[in-house]
Amino acid sequence: MGKLLSKGYAAERRAGITMDRAQSWSAGVAPSSEGADTTHLTVADGFGNVVASTQTICYLFGAGYIVPGTGMIPNNYMSSFDPHPGRANSVAPGKRVTSTMSPVMVLHDGRLRYAIGLPGGLRMFPSVMQTLSNLVDHGMSIQEAVELWTRGWGVKVEASVPEGVLAALRDRGQDVATVNRIGCGMSAIQFDADGTMTAPRAGGPMARRSVSAADWRGVGRGLIRI
């Protein structure tokens, strides 16, 4: 943003203008690697407090205005409604707009075991579901569980996965594509009874941290018991 507002950048762009012919223009600033609309965070502290929170404004700049005095941009999920009356998804009083946000906390024997969430639009639902299946049904580590997912149009695999594994998947007829961010930016934490928290890392070993709290209370949107 600083460059966009700088006089130097304005002069640079102005110098490219010619009055004798029309031109095709594109942004002169490289896009950020961060998402422009949805953000998810999963955090925990040594007192047993855990938050899995997904915040989204839908499209870039959301509803297009800032709430005075807050600096917050409302989302524009009203665009997901059908503007025509009398239909299943028509705008109506009391209706809640559809959303794909899916932060989840998983309990085992009454104790918090996993806290998971991610940005990614329609990829949120299948990514969370597959991660839970990897953890619960297939016994994967938290690192392994978030490294491979699919939404039905090819398989996405973390770029650090060995080429031999990718080749084996392709030999089986899978349409494989590598991504630099695990699980489309998934943020996950595993909680063990001894108070240890484990989180996956992109392209590296899992991060483990022991804290004093053994009873993870958890505060979040969705709870699943296994």
Phi, psi of 189 (to 5 degrees): -135, 135
Q: What is the 3-state secondary structure (H, E, C) of 71-112?
A: CCCCCCHHHHCECCCCCCCECCCCCCCCCCCCCEEEEECCEE
**178 part of the active site:** no
Which one from 18, 38, 39, 54 is the annotated catalytic residue? 38
- Which residues are marked as active site? 38
